[in-house]
Amino acid sequence: MKVKDKTVVVTGGGNGIGRELVLNLLDRGARVAAVDLNEAALNETVSLAGGNAGRLSVHILNITDFKAVAKLPEEVIAIHGSVDGLINNAGIIQPFVRLKDLNFEVAEKVMDVNFFGTLYMVKAFLAHLRNRPEAHIVNVSSMGGFLPVPGQCVYGASKAAVKMLTEGLYAGLMGTAIRVSIVFPGAIATEITRNSGVEAPGSGSADAGSSKFNPMPPADAAKEIIEGIEKDKVRILVGKDSRFLNILYRISPGYATRFISRQMKSLLPE
């Protein structure tokens, strides 16, 4: 789906990849509804949009609140007139600890944001997207959704759930005007650790994995994602590390698991 003159909803639009998706979409002539829990971050996105801000609306929303999410489509349509695309980008990670040390409250929060937040958004917008001549749903999983990362067991499970949800959605929407894409970012230079309220051991407030992999700037990641959308790609692998490990894991899951475990060992306390 070409994004020019389309209305696209982006979750996590206040920072990182989400903010860059918003700005890139606006630069390409789209109308955008940016969704985030952080009002100050959304206001900064508006400021960065500059002359494109007239095509941008912001929506302060907790995507784990099912009732609030259910009201969002009508709010967006009241402003922009229609909805053509949905990018479920918002997500959090867990503390870098072994499963035995992860409490259930944290595990439930990770699943609520990453999986159920995505599910709520898809369910809320699906009927509206079905009424469009063409539409696109994009769910952001993770490299950790197909490859186990030490200290991120539940995070990986949540992103694997997003992967299977998206693939099932793709199968169910075959023959309709709705395209579906699943995104697998590798190491991206965002503040996901800080925004998730956790800290990666040995890396201060830096993004998870940045000490071991050369992280991609979020603007470059957003560009790859939107180019994938415009080419109607089903799978969008973002970054050389994601593409490399995707191939390696398909060839030898055991070797790939041992490889990533060695690379990320320093992030997990003994």
Cite the beta strand spans of 61-211 per DSSP E. 85-88, 135-140, 178-185
Residue in the block written with tokens 């060695």: 262
Which residue is catalytic, options 155, 170, 249, 255?
A: 155
- Give one DSSP letter per residue of 56-85, joined into a string: EEEEE--TT-HHHHHHHHHHHHHHHS---E
What burial class does residue 243 get, using C-beta atoms within 10 Å of its C-beta: 0-12 exposed, 13-18 middle, 19+ buried? middle
Q: Which domains does the chain have, with CATH numbers?
A: 7-267 (3.40.50.720)
3-state secondary structure of 101: helix
Cα(270)–Cα(225) distance, integer angstroms:
36
Q: For residue range 204-243, what is the model confidence (pLDDT) as tens digits?
A: 333 443 345 678 999 999 999 999 999 999 999 999 999 9
Say what the pTM is: 0.91
Q: Is 155 a catalytic residue?
A: yes
Q: Which residues of 152-171 are buried (b: 16+ CB within 10 A; e: fewer)?
A: bbbbbbbbbbbbebbbebbe
pLDDT in tens, the chain (270 residues): 999 999 999 999 999 999 999 999 999 999 999 999 999 999 999 999 999 999 999 999 999 999 999 999 999 999 999 999 999 999 999 998 889 999 999 999 999 999 999 999 999 999 999 999 999 999 999 999 999 988 899 999 999 999 999 999 999 999 999 999 999 999 898 665 556 555 555 443 334 433 456 789 999 999 999 999 999 999 999 999 999 999 999 999 999 999 988 887 766 666
User: How far from 88 is each of 105, 117, 127, 140, 268, CA to CA, in Å?
Assistant: 23, 8, 16, 6, 28
